[in-house]
Amino acid sequence: MKVVIVGNGRIGRAIAGGIRRACPSWTVRMLGRGDDRSAARGGDVVLLCVKPQQVRAALEPLASELKPGSVLIGVAAKTTLADLRALLPAHVGVVRAMPNLPVSELVGMTAFASESDPKDLALAEELFSLLGRTVRVEERLMNAATAMNGCGPAYAYVIVEAWIDAGIKLGFSYETSRTLVAQTLLGAAASVLASEEHPAALKTAVTTPAGCTIEGLLQLEDGRIRSTIVRAVIAGAEA
Ligand SMILES: NC(=O)c1ccc[n+]([C@@H]2O[C@H](COP(=O)([O-])OP(=O)(O)OC[C@H]3O[C@@H](n4cnc5c(N)ncnc54)[C@H](OP(=O)(O)O)[C@@H]3O)[C@@H](O)[C@H]2O)c1
């Protein structure tokens, strides 16, 4: 598989790093601004990893280089399948994807949509499955996916940062607190993915009657953590 990544920024580098780790036999070529577009020739998959306002300028000189049967995967937020299709020849498949930065650690979450040949979607799924989990969604939900899993790590990092501060306040070193928090969140996420139970049931299993967990949960409820998180994600989707 020959993969071309247009856009040498944060998500482009994260995807390239993930592919190189997961699949060292694949060829990954990165194209930055001003690089020779003919380097994209022969690419089976071309990932467009530029900002939405940079899409047209990046894609126009590239379109004639794309081989028949290749698939262009647009990663730019808010850039629709129709936007991408309008800039591409008909012989190129089009998929819209929303990954997140943990693809570099092979624990990414990628949502994607396509209206072209199912084999294009299958190719995108094969690629992003190497880098973590994937879900296929209707295109109308792609802006919501941007907020859920694209922006999501930033929301989680705020929680992680505050929780580490709590550990420091309680007397742990930064390093120990970081390990305690990150591994606890990893464990909670793994339990949610592995279990058929609703998170409320998993929470109940931790919450001893009249114990310390319920004291902390009450503080979270007083801080309106649920409505704050729901409104934060909706604001991200509507931005
Ligand atoms: N960061 C994330 O967590 C994340 C997650 C999912 C999706 N996305 C989406 O991915 C896109 C890129 O985000 P990012 O955070 O990676 O941004 P970024 O760090 O700014 O990267 C964009 C890169 O594209 C390059 N570029 C601009 N025009 C180009 C052109 N004509 N040809 C080739 N390269 C060009 C930029 O180069 P210059 O520096 O020279 O301008 C820059 O290196 C955005 O649309 C975003 O919505 C981001």
Section 24-30 average pLDDT = 95
DSSP 90-150: TTSEEEEEE--GGGGGT-EEEEEE-SS-HHHHHHHHHHHHTTEEEEE--GGGHHHHIIIII
- Residues present in the chain in total: 239
Q: Whose CA is nearest to atom 15 of ligand 1?
A: 10
The closest-lying atom of ligand 1 relative to the alpha carbon of residue 34 is: 32
Query: Is CATH 3.40.50.300 what the domain over 152-238 is classified as, yes or no?
Result: no
The closest-lying atom of ligand 1 relative to the alpha carbon of residue 57 is: 31
Q: Where are the domains of the chain?
A: 2-142, 152-238
pLDDT at 41 over 90: no
Question: Which has the minimum average pLDDT: 18-32, 112-126, 186-200?
Answer: 112-126
pLDDT at 192 over 90: yes
What is the CATH number that goes with domain 2-142?
A: 3.40.50.720
Section 79-101 average pLDDT = 96
User: For position 217, what pLDDT does the model report?
Assistant: 98
Beta carbons of 78 and 143 less than 8 angstroms apart: yes
10 — pLDDT class (breaks 50, 70, 90) = very high
Pocket lining: 32 vs ligand 1, CB cutoff 6 Å: yes
DSSP 21-80: HH-TTSEEEEE-TTS-GGGGTT-SEEEE-S-GGGHHHHHTTTGGGPPTT-EEEE-STT--
In this structure, what DSSP letter does residue 52 have?
Answer: G
pLDDT at 34 over 90: no
Section 201-208 average pLDDT = 97
Tokens representing residue 27 in the block: 């060829």
| Interval between CA 113 and ligand 1 midpoint (Å) | 20
Mutation probe of ligand 1 site: the residue of 38, 49, 101 with most atoms within 8 A of C-beta = 49
Beta carbons of 70 and 92 less than 8 angstroms apart: yes
Query: Which helix or strand (DSSP H or E) is residue 225 part of?
Result: helix 225-238
Section 68-75 average pLDDT = 96
- Amino acid letter for position 186: L
Section 198-214 average pLDDT = 97
What's the whole-number average pLDDT of the chain?
96
Pocket lining: 50 vs ligand 1, CB cutoff 6 Å: yes
Beta carbons of 131 and 99 less than 8 angstroms apart: yes
Pocket lining: 8 vs ligand 1, CB cutoff 6 Å: yes
In this structure, what DSSP letter does residue 196 have?
Answer: S
